[in-house]
Amino acid sequence: MKKIAGIVVFLAAAGCAFAQNMEARLVELNGAVEVKDSGASGWRPAVVNEAVAKDTVISTGIKSTAVVVLGNSRLLVRPLTRLSLEELRRRDGGEEVSLYLRSGRVRAEVSPPAGGRTNFTVRSPSATASVRGTSFEFDTRYLQVDSGTVRLSDNRGQKVFVAGGQISRVDESGQRVVPPFEAANELLTPSLPEVAVTGGGGGTLAPNIPAPAPVPVDANVYVEWQ
């Protein structure tokens, strides 16, 4: 019996070594930024350099931004954005980050740790952007990639791979992911409706981000990672 108990304790300790929870940190704040801690009923003002744990919700007001460090990666939270930190953990020398973007827009700079990799996912009500080491901007439906490759998929499992300098989107019906060559001449969220955010700021978001130059159709080569 003692030997069995010893084996169980050893295995439990080994499991903890391979998977550890990871904290995010708010390193820059500009304007009205609020957070709702896991299990809390109300919002509170964010504090510069505070650690935020899994299941925390971050909300930015009008003309307000926040920069969040998530392990080796950085996230710029644009004005009038609300997002949840769903998964933050280290496993086998790598990092796993999962965010839920309820509204607004974020810009991510994803960098893997030395000798490891980062699985970075941003979900929204209509789409999911998944990457391993890249730079991109995402606003729940529209995706613009600066470098690397991002996989954009909708809730039905349709997906496209979007490379640096390309854009893509999920169409208005939510039934189709538009390939980069088709979306190349569009703006990132060309006509986003007014966004009213309660409990974490409110107002109107009027983005005006130019799309990258069109990419020739024969330059679109998608390779799925293993």
Bridge-based pairing state of the strands 135-138 and 142-147:
antiparallel
217 three-state secondary structure = helix
What is the CA angle 36-37-38, rounded to 5? 120
> What top-level class would CATH report for the domain 22-210?
mainly beta
On whether the pTM is more than 0.75, the answer is no
Q: What is the helix, strand, coil percentage profile of the chain, to 5?
A: 10, 45, 45
50 three-state secondary structure = coil
Q: Each residue's pLDDT tens digit in the chain (226 positions)?
A: 444 444 343 334 444 445 687 889 999 999 999 999 988 999 999 999 999 989 999 999 999 999 999 988 999 999 999 999 999 998 877 899 999 999 999 999 998 888 788 899 999 999 999 987 789 999 999 999 999 999 999 888 889 999 999 999 998 877 789 999 888 765 545 444 444 444 444 443 334 444 433 333 333 333 333 2
Output the pLDDT for position 2: 46
DSSP-assigned states of every residue in 102-138: EES-EEEE--PPTTS-EEEEEE-SSEEEEESS-EEEE
Which residue carries 């005006």 as its tokens? 208
Largest Cα span, the chain: 69
